[in-house]
A and B are shown apart, each in its own frame.
Chain A
Amino acid sequence: MRAFVSRDMASVGLGADEVAAALIAAGVEVVRTGSRGLFRIEPLVEIETPDGRVGCGPVAADEVAAVIDGTHRNRIGDVAKLPFFASQQRFTFARCGIVDPLSLADYAAHGGWIGLDRARRAPPAEVVAMVRESGLRGRGGAGFSTGIKWQTALDAPGDAKFIVCNADEGDSGTFADRMLMEGDPFCLIEGMAIAGHAVGAARGYVYIRSEYPFAIETMRAAIALAAERIAPFALEVRVGAGAYVCGEETALLDSIEGKRGQVRAKPPLPAIAGLFGKPTVINNVLTLAAVPFILANGAEAYAAIGFGRSRGTMPVQLAGNVRNGGLYEIGFGVTLGELVDDVGGGTESGRPVRAVQVGGPLGAYFPASMFDLPFDYEAFAAAGGLIGHAGVTVFDDGVDMMRMARFAMEFCAAESCGKCTPCRIGSTRGVETLDRIIAGDRPDENVALLRDLCDTMRHGSLCALGGFTPFPVLSALDHFGEDFGAADIAGPVE
């Protein structure tokens, strides 16, 4: 008997290792996979049968006998038929949770390397054109056209060029990069090799945050296994050291070079003078991992899905206090309410949804009254927020939004790279000002001061850490102003 059990970090956090060990002790052959992406059913065990895989989950280690004899109380059947999965459009995450992440045979059997082989038969300019026509935009947050970025690097003169994958994924509420690296690492490797061919780069780096030990291990192993397949392109993993700002692309480059991760002034663009001063394409994990699909299936197949200028799919991450938390890949245009209520199933606590933060610590908080917002870069910008890396963090009515505004300022102060005053000093002033509001000290006056401070940070910061921290703060003020009255109105800190 063969069973599939995820070794995704979040599944392991829920006990998947113990379940796998119990299955092995019971004589079952266990294949460790990535996670399918619905954490309510993890640890998930899927048993191979002539009619396909039969899932049970969640499963505890002392329940494996019931899984084996088919009587487990959480028997699901075909996991792919659950509405959570059946309604997705999995372009990037097609293999994740299904294949053995480190099996080259599995990868090839599930459509791997078609994109790279096709790319290598075409001139670089043609590959760049395909990526541009797909409409793919950077999934790291800024939403910049990937095709235009690659074109700039292709056109830049240079004896050496680099591909850098931004796997710093520091935003709370996001885990898609991690899941892909753990569950389908060859997909990212293939995307990077395609990028190398497209712009003329022979070397690449994957910069992974240190908080992701499983992803680091899996990527290193996968790179070693795929080295021959992607040669002469060569890849290396670099590990971050716990600095959120190193997710900013120029700080990340400085970090790879062995320096403090401080933001560089632009220009020059990294595509012209990036790593070690050479033309460098720096893209997010999800951006690069979308590329094999585009090459294999054509730019039109990708661009056919989406909304407005946001083309293709987005691996949305449902996080926080949400019943069906996990990874949900879907074409742009789905509304925030569909994601939170229909897909997410509302809060896990069963209490009403009060606020949803989209796009990590620099993203705005939205109330349920704005749930008709379509998932689209432009629509979110117009609503005073951002999609960012598509983390959707749900809070129930127990949340104190004044506390969350304070946290945003505190986080900015802790993670500021220190290069510019509005961010470095402004965030500390922001914490102090919020502390006065929390203490009930002249709330009206101090709220006005806080808004001024946000304005200064918004317009005077070099990068989005200082520049966008006002999004969570101002949205909390604008949509949840009732929390900013006086301390006794806001209630005690939980």
Chain B
Amino acid sequence: MKTEDPRIGRVRALAAAYHAPDGLLPLLHDVQAAFGHIDDIFVPAIAEALNLSRAEVHGVITFYHDFRRVPAGRHVVRLCRAEACQARGARAIEAAAVERLGVAMGATRADGAVTLEPVYCLGMCATGPNALVDGVPVSRIDGARLDRLAAEILA
């Protein structure tokens, strides 16, 4: 028998905090916080712990944009594309970010340095273009700010 991936034991330990099906979203957030993504091999343990079917768990993971099934890059840039940021030049900043970070929107760089993701509004709509860089809010992104960010990220 193949030995079990040690991470699965940790998933079970995280799941012990939840007992009912409504614990699924909080648990998925915990799992993603712990491992950076929700690997498909975690699904049976999650389903068992909350008394759900694997299909139900899989259905929830794939429905929500936040949950990733593959690891992200070492840095994650979530760049706002919604209307109020567009009104402040976000389209041009997005094109520049793709170029300077060397990664397509919605993708992870081949060397794993950075993941660039779209986000639809961060609630900072008077001071865009905005991004969350590794969870830290960054506003009024212009060419110079983008250069500094890219330099830090790719350092």
| Residue ranges of A at the interface with B (Cβ–Cβ < 8 Å) | 9-10, 12-14, 39, 42, 169-175, 177-178, 210-213, 238-244, 255-261, 276, 317-322, 325-326, 348, 357, 360-361, 391, 393-396, 399, 404, 407, 411, 415, 493-494
If the complex has contacts A260-B59, A494-B91, are A172 and B25 also in contact, measured as CB distance less than 8 A? Answer: no
Known: A9-B123, A172-B121, A260-B64. 16 other contacts (CB 8 A): A13-B124, A13-B130, A13-B140, A14-B140, A211-B122, A241-B25, A242-B64, A244-B120, A258-B23, A319-B87, A320-B126, A321-B87, A326-B126, A393-B87, A404-B86, A494-B91
- Contact residues in B for A319 (Cβ distance below 8 Å): 84, 87, 125-126
A320 touching B124, Cβ below 8 Å: no
B28 touching A361, Cβ below 8 Å: no
Is B139 at the interface (CB under 8 A from chain A)?
yes
A13 touching B25, Cβ below 8 Å: no
If the complex has contacts A241-B29, A241-B67, are A257 and B87 also in contact, measured as CB distance less than 8 A? Answer: no
B20 to chain A, nearest CB (A): 8
B65 to chain A, nearest CB (A): 4
Residues 1 to 51 of chain B near chain A (Cβ within 8 Å): 20-26, 28-29, 50
If the complex has contacts A211-B119, A321-B87, A393-B87, are A255 and B124 also in contact, measured as CB distance less than 8 A? Answer: no
The residue from A13, A238, A393 contacting B127, defined by CB atoms under 8 A apart: A13
Q: Enumerate the 8 nearest inter-chain pairs by beta-carbon distance, A residue then B residue, closest first.
A: A325-B126, A13-B139, A320-B87, A172-B82, A241-B64, A258-B24, A242-B65, A319-B125
- Contact residues in A for B26 (Cβ distance below 8 Å): 238-239
Q: Which of A13, A39, A322 has the most CB of B within 10 A?
A: A13
Shortest Cβ distance from A410 into B: residue: B81
Instruction: Give me 25 A-to-B residue pairs in the complex whose CB atoms sit less than 8 angstroms apart, sorted by A's number.
Output: A9-B122, A12-B136, A14-B140, A39-B126, A39-B127, A42-B127, A170-B121, A172-B82, A175-B123, A241-B28, A241-B64, A242-B64, A242-B65, A258-B23, A258-B25, A261-B63, A317-B125, A319-B87, A320-B128, A321-B87, A391-B84, A396-B87, A404-B86, A411-B82, A494-B91
Is B60 at the interface (CB under 8 A from chain A)?
yes
Is B137 at the interface (CB under 8 A from chain A)?
yes
- Contact residues in A for B122 (Cβ distance below 8 Å): 9, 211-212
- Contact residues in A for B29 (Cβ distance below 8 Å): 210, 239, 241
- Contact residues in A for B140 (Cβ distance below 8 Å): 13-14
Is B151 at the interface (CB under 8 A from chain A)?
no
CA distance A257 to B91 in the complex (A): 37
- Contact residues in B for A357 (Cβ distance below 8 Å): 83
Is B154 at the interface (CB under 8 A from chain A)?
no
- Contact residues in B for A259 (Cβ distance below 8 Å): 21, 24, 56, 60
B147 to chain A, nearest CB (A): 17
CA distance A321 to B130 in the complex (A): 13
B25 touching A212, Cβ below 8 Å: no
- Contact residues in A for B85 (Cβ distance below 8 Å): 172
Shortest Cβ distance from B118 into A: residue: A414
B83 touching A243, Cβ below 8 Å: no
The residue from A171, A178, A258 contacting B50, defined by CB atoms under 8 A apart: A258
Shortest Cβ distance from B85 into A: residue: A172
A243 touching B63, Cβ below 8 Å: yes
CA distance A391 to B120 in the complex (A): 14
Is B92 at the interface (CB under 8 A from chain A)?
yes
Is B103 at the interface (CB under 8 A from chain A)?
no
- Contact residues in B for A276 (Cβ distance below 8 Å): 22
- Contact residues in A for B88 (Cβ distance below 8 Å): 320-321, 348
The residue from A9, A171, A256, A394 contacting B137, defined by CB atoms under 8 A apart: A9
Shortest Cβ distance from A258 into B: residue: B24
The residue from B23, B60, B83, B130 contacting A173, defined by CB atoms under 8 A apart: B83
CA distance A42 to B136 in the complex (A): 17
Shortest Cβ distance from A246 into B: residue: B64
- Quick one: CB contact mask for B111-145 with A, threshold 8 Å, 1 for yes? 00000000111111111101010011111100000
Q: Which of B20, B26, B56, B122 has the most CB of A within 10 A?
A: B122
If the complex has contacts A391-B84, A404-B83, A494-B92, are A10 and B123 also in contact, measured as CB distance less than 8 A? Answer: yes
